[in-house]
Amino acid sequence: MAQSLGSEAKAGLKLISPTALYVIFLLAVPLATVLLYSVLTGGRGNVSLPVTGENYAEIFFHPKFAYLYIMFKSLMVALGVTFITVMLAYPVAYFVSFHVRPERKSLWLFLITIPFWTSYIIRVSLWFVILGYGGLVDQMLISLGITDVQLNIASYSILSIVIVLAHAYAPFAVLPIFVSLEKVDRSLLEAGQDLGESRWITFLRVTLPLSMPGVIAAALIVFIPTVGDYVTPELVGDGKEPMIANIIETQLLKLQNFPQGSAFAVASMLMVGIVSVAFVLLNKRFIGVQK
Amino acid sequence: MKKAPILKGYTLFYLLFLYGPILLLPIFAFNDSKVVAFPLKGLTLNWFAEMAADQNLRTAAKNSLIIAFSVASISTILGIFAARASVRYRFPGKAPIMAMIMLPLVLPEMIVAMALLVVLLSLGIQLSLFTVIVGQVLICTPFAVAILTSAFQSLDRSLEEASLDLGETAVSTFRLIVLPLVMPGIMASFLICFTISFDEFIIANFLGSGKPILSVYIFGQFRFPAKVPSMLALGTVLVLFSICLLGVAEYMRRRGIAKAGGNNSGGLQ
């Protein structure tokens, strides 16, 4: 390169500045504001000094630990959905990676990802038609004589929330697992079997550990949006089982309590952050095993 | 390839689970009954007619198209700047800047929406279609950057150097050599961002302050049983629309890779 590093750096910074300024002003500044508001005193529609830890205390010590329970519930639902989604997706990714001819792989992946690109709202709403009162599941069960009352699965909020979210985020999980399976050196598997291991043992000892980074990535990709999902609890759960996103909405919009809503937002970001770091550390462990 | 009948059966079953709800759309959109129930009652186009006659729906669709077009354009342009800079140049602060740009991928959308909302409300800015666009650009830009980064990466650097050696300026090299080669990536980014924006609900709902936008409208209508069949008709149209856009995006992406002389590994580099 004829250019010195200085001018290259200048050119790079100049080129990235529109995008960088956009995210600094419209993402970094708002996030910093939320962080700041979360330690200020709030009333209806106003924010003022002094600095206080009361908003966080409210989250932890609300009567009967109601808010703590909601955060815990959101976390458990998201972890449950993540676990189910990843478990369901793994065999699919394995099939496409190991049993589909190379030229057909992208077709299969395309088929798996199409539903993800169709309207999320419509997919969630369709579950309402399927699981709700007098919905398709109820009709089928009644006409088969299995039950004669409307089960209305949608009213069992948590169960239906888990079903709907596991369906909505299914394609997300297949792709990262597929990518890591593609990277597994096929000769290692042959070596394992040549040395007399069964295919199942080879899978457990070679393929599964090597594909673990993909599994962790899939878990993260599913976990993050499900923790903050707003639509599903609102529509399928009938709003009876609010999750963390619904609480943030109530505080910020309905009660106009910016500091309290901000504290919830920060607390949920912390929760997502801690779990994500735990996932990444798990990933590091498995990479360590490979070496 | 070894045969694996159980795995294959499972995968087909999984696809059925994925597509199940979507398959209900056309079935009941053409069904001549106000209730969504089996057995089917016969064919009708009434629900499509009802959908087409719905004035609010038209306004919402128009707003959604305006938003999606603006968001896709802005995100793709911001994506070009960021992707080009990150692929081509080394500069201080590159890692944190890129991390900030990609951050919305790993933040729950609700947090992005609420953070922006708090600032807008504090500044007393009126919520409108414009604020929805501003918010959705944040969500779409990381996707644009990801797509465009792979487009710029597969670009052969020597072509640019040849052009510069032959006396073209940096700007004309970009216009004559780089831009045509990454054009398929740009189109793919535009279409993907368009699709994401068109379907997006959370930002449309909270930063739009009740303005009629398609996803918000659908969300509201599904609560009224009488409206469900015409919403299913609308869903059928939207799903076909999305699939067409994606088909074009996928075609562009592959043509881009072929043009740059790379090999196609299903877009998963």
Tens digits of per-residue pLDDT, B129-163? Answer: 999 999 999 999 999 999 898 888 888 888 888 88
Q: Which positions in chain B touch A253 (Cβ < 8 Å)?
A: 117, 206
Please report, for residues A98, A155, B45, B199, the alpha-carbon distance to residue B36 in angstroms, rounded to integers and kept in the order given. Answer: 41, 18, 15, 24
Query: Does the interface ipTM go beyond 0.85?
Result: no
Kindly report, residue by residue over B242-269, the tens digit of the pLDDT. 788 777 877 777 776 676 655 544 444 3
CB nearest to A225's CB, from B93, B109, B238: B109
- Contact yes or no for B85 and A171 at CB 8 A: no
Hey, of B76, B110, B117, B149, which one would you mutate to test binding to chain A, going by the most A CBs within 10 A of its CB? B110
Please report, for residues A36, A56, A110, A276, B209, the alpha-carbon distance to residue B132 in angstroms, rounded to integers and kept in the order given. Answer: 24, 30, 30, 28, 9
Contact A286, A90 (CB under 8 A): no
Which pTM was predicted? 0.83
CB nearest to A30's CB, from B81, B84, B116: B116
Per-residue pLDDT of chain A (291 residues; tens, 9 = 90+): 444 557 888 888 888 889 999 999 999 999 998 888 888 877 666 767 777 777 777 777 777 777 888 888 888 888 999 999 999 999 999 998 888 888 888 888 888 887 777 778 888 878 877 877 667 777 777 777 766 666 666 566 778 888 888 888 888 888 889 988 888 888 887 787 788 778 788 888 888 888 888 898 888 888 988 888 888 877 776 667 788 888 888 888 877 778 888 888 898 888 888 988 888 888 777 665 554
**Is residue A17 classed as helix, strand or coil in its secondary structure?**
helix
Nearest to A156 by CA among A58, A238, A222, A220: A238
Which architecture characterizes domain A64-290 according to CATH? Orthogonal Bundle (1.10)
Count A/B contacts: CB-CB distance under 8 Å: 254
Per-residue pLDDT of chain B (269 residues; tens, 9 = 90+): 566 788 888 888 888 888 888 888 888 878 777 776 666 677 777 778 777 777 888 899 899 999 999 999 999 999 999 998 888 888 888 889 999 999 898 888 889 998 999 888 888 888 889 999 999 999 999 999 998 988 888 888 888 888 888 888 888 888 888 888 888 889 888 988 998 898 888 899 889 877 889 888 888 887 777 778 888 888 888 888 878 877 787 777 777 667 665 554 444 43
Q: Minimal Cα distance from B74: which residue of A? A: A19
**Residue linked to tokens 């159980």:** B6
Q: What pLDDT does B172 receive?
A: 86
Domains belonging to chain B, first-starting first, are 45-259 (1.10.3720.10)
The H or E element containing residue A43 is strand A41-43
CA distance B225 to chain A (A): 9
- Contact yes or no for B267 and A106 at CB 8 A: yes
Q: What pLDDT does A212 receive?
A: 86
